[in-house]
Amino acid sequence: MKVGLLLCDDVTPVLQKAHKNYPDMFLALLRKQEPELEMVTYRVLDGELPENTSECDCWIISGSRHSAYDSFSWISLLEVFVRKLYEDRCKLAGICFGHQVMANSLGGKVELAEKGWGVGMSYNRITQESSWMQPAAQDFKLLVSHRDQVTHLPSSAKVLASSDFCPNYMLQYGDCFLSIQGHPEFSKSYSADLMNSRRESIPEDRILKGMDSLTDDPDSDLIAQWIMQFFRQKL
């Protein structure tokens, strides 16, 4: 399987020595499920986009420190490509910022969340099951780092997982698009270092709660398995 990673950010240089960059994280995560997986990275944040939707078998949009509603030209270009992927019924998974860009692209709305930053471990319940979600689960844990949320759903979206903090946590659009607010590619050590690097932006009490939550382990491999099974499911 050839996966196109639409890269929307880099790990900050000071953290790359310990944690590498986002393409490395995604490749390590997905190769646990499919060792022969090939990944091609498109640096969307630098204006690099695929020439057509058939260059890869399926696609992933990464997270980003930016907001889906920011007025950067590369975000507008990415939204155009997302709509083209949807029109061509290509498989796409969006992670955090990717989750939000997909909603914005298809008629939803993303806003700065009234509840503030979500950091550390998130606790989410399944609200609707799909056939590719095997092994089945009633809930799952996943690392997060976000202060924006999808507040209004596109008409084509259905909610698969939700939490009290983030009601629109995992979405599916038809049979080709899947998006998740959390980060299955994050390690707990990277989550901790990322929180520490953002102490000027994140309230101290929220960081303390986020750090405390890292005593739990995320269900990253389960979510990666679901994503790969979603990609493999025939249209």
Q: Which residues of the chain have pLDDT under 70?
A: none
- pLDDT (0 to 100) of residue 235: 74
3-state DSSP call for residue 222? helix
Predicted local confidence at residue 214, as pLDDT: 98
Please list, in sequence order, all residues whose beta carbon lies within 8 angstroms of the beta carbon of residue 51, skipping any fewer than 6 positions away: none
Cα 130 versus chain centre, distance: 19
CATH, residue 51: 3.40.50.880
Distance CA 74, CA 10 (A): 15
Instruction: Please write the tens of the pLDDT for every residue from 53-91.
Output: 999 999 999 999 999 999 999 999 999 999 999 999 999
Domain count, the chain: 1
- According to the model, what pLDDT value does residue 234 have? 85
Among 129, 83, 77, 90, CA closest to 106: 83
**Distance between CA atoms of 71 and 86, rounded to whole angstroms?**
22
pTM of the model: 0.97
Residue 81 sits in which domain range? 2-232
Rounded CA-CA distance 93/212 in Å is 29
